[in-house]
Amino acid sequence: MSGSEIGVGNVLVFGSFFYPYLLSSYAFLTSSSVGRFYFEPDHVYRSAFQRDRDRIIHCASFRRMSEKMQVFTADFGSYHRTRLTHTLEVVCIARTVGRVLGLNEDLIEAASLLHDIGHPPFGHCGESVLNSLLLVVGGFDHNMQALRIVEKLERRYVDFPGLNLSRELLDGQSYKVLKSFTPLLEIQVVDVADSVAYDTHDVDDAMELGLLGADQLMQTALWKCSSKRVRERWSNLNSVEFRRAVVHDLIDVQVSDILEATKRRIIETGIKTAEEATSLPVLVAPGEEIAEMKREMEAFLLEQVYRHPKVMLLRNRVTGWINEIFEYYVNKTEELPERYTNVLNQEGERRAVADFIADMTDRSARSINCGIKN
């Protein structure tokens, strides 16, 4: 909330608006925010993190995620997740976890919406190529690119560059880059919700596309346990119904375990404030048994999905496309859009071209006319 936020029992009073809302003592209060880099007065009826959420949703980089791949491009069909739909699923999971733990849902929602906004076209394939092309100037990382977008590259406001988000959001995104400190519990929730989403939905997408079969997934304990529970509850499901029931169970079992394990750690550590939580190792995480199952699932996905021959074929094509676009514009920087002029002047042609490419969608990257043959 803004400086006018006060707590009254179960109710937060913000101006003349009353919200039934129960926060834990270790939740981060919006009124405790250190503010923004560029000063702005409090909004009349929106809290600071609500404004952050709205700014992220309304920016161009957020919209572009609708045409950026999560694991599979549009060539594979229309069922699977894009970077945007993955982000929205992370929001749903994170808000559920945050509400049960009594944390600040506005901060969680904003951080969830922000977490993948820095991905270039073609997901981690594109990121890997850009990183190799930029090693001489510090490399490329989608988490760091998200910070560049919201601090510098987006130009939606007259008074400042970027989106001028709250410092807590920026710190949370920095944690994803550095991993050298313990973030607020709300940021921890986003991190673990991201893991739940991709461990589950990448399986669902791969099965829908015929790249994985249920028999293969029985090699993993997480799928095997959920399959058993589904079979015990329903005995006459067809293959599609069965898969969807198992996917639902996978999410439920992971979220339930995260909540139980986190509550146990909170009780054991005896934390009472948001600041105390940041002085300890990460608390919002699955229990060891489920954590081990998730590690096994992620190793399985790496070998069976992310390194699937069809995905690797795409990766090889992407490497060629991005290399050609990059080399073309590094040698013809005068053809870059005007909005990259400041980066070009301050940080050089390689970083400016990388920002230009990272802004592209999968479709627009393919349509660039610089000699590329799809």
State which residues form the domain around 296.
49-367
Q: Is 285 helix (H, G, I), strand (E, B) or coil?
A: coil
**Tokens 């293969």, residue located:** 216
Give the mean pLDDT of 134-145.
98
Residue-wise pLDDT tens digits, 311-364: 999 999 999 999 999 999 999 999 999 999 999 999 999 999 999 999 999 999
Residue-wise pLDDT tens digits, 254-274: 999 999 999 999 999 999 999
Could you tell me which of 367, 368, 361, 362 has the C-alpha nearest to residue 61? 361
- Identify any residues that bridge with 198 across adjacent strands, giving them in sequence order: none
The radius of gyration of the chain's CA atoms, rounded to the nearest angstrom, is 22
Please check the confidence at residue 167 and state whether its pLDDT lies above 50: yes
Contact 273, 258 (CB under 8 A): no
Above pLDDT 90, what percent of the chain? 91
The answer to which of 165-174, 198-207, 225-234, 365-374 has the lowest mean pLDDT is 365-374
Per-residue confidence at 368, pLDDT binned at 50, 70, 90? confident
Contact 82, 69 (CB under 8 A): yes
Within a domain: 8: no
Residue-wise pLDDT tens digits, 28-84: 999 999 999 999 999 999 999 999 999 999 999 999 999 999 999 988 989 999 999
DSSP letter for each residue of 36-62 = BSS--PPPSSS-HHHHHHHHHHHSHHH
Within a domain: 347: yes
Please check the confidence at residue 371 and state whether its pLDDT lies above 70: no
Tell me what pLDDT residue 11 has.
45
Within a domain: 17: no
Burial class for 326, CB neighbours closer than 10 Å (0-12, 13-18, 19+): buried
Within a domain: 180: yes
CA–CA dist 204, 242 (Å, integer): 11
Contact 186, 111 (CB under 8 A): yes
338/373: higher pLDDT: 338
CATH of the domain at 323: 1.10.3210.10
Contact 125, 142 (CB under 8 A): no
Residue-wise pLDDT tens digits, 269-321: 999 999 999 999 999 999 999 999 999 999 999 999 999 999 999 999 999 99
User: Can you state the percent helix, strand and coil of the chain, rounding each to 5?
Assistant: 65, 5, 30
Contact 333, 352 (CB under 8 A): yes
Number of domains the chain is built from: 1
Give the mean pLDDT of 85-101.
97
DSSP letter assigned to residue 82: B
Per-residue confidence at 21, pLDDT binned at 50, 70, 90? low
Within a domain: 323: yes
Within a domain: 272: yes
Tell me what pLDDT residue 22 has.
81
What torsion do the CA atoms of 34, 40, 43, 46 make, to the nearest 10 degrees?
-50
The strand ranges marked E within the chain are 6-8, 11-14, 17-20
Please check the confidence at residue 96 and state whether its pLDDT lies above 90: yes
Question: How much is the mean pLDDT over the chain?
Answer: 93
**What pTM, to 2 d.p., does this model score?**
0.92
Give the mean pLDDT of 173-195.
97
* Interacting residues of 36 by C-beta distance below 8 A, sequence separation 6+: 164, 165, 166, 167
CA–CA dist 358, 347 (Å, integer): 16
Within a domain: 69: yes
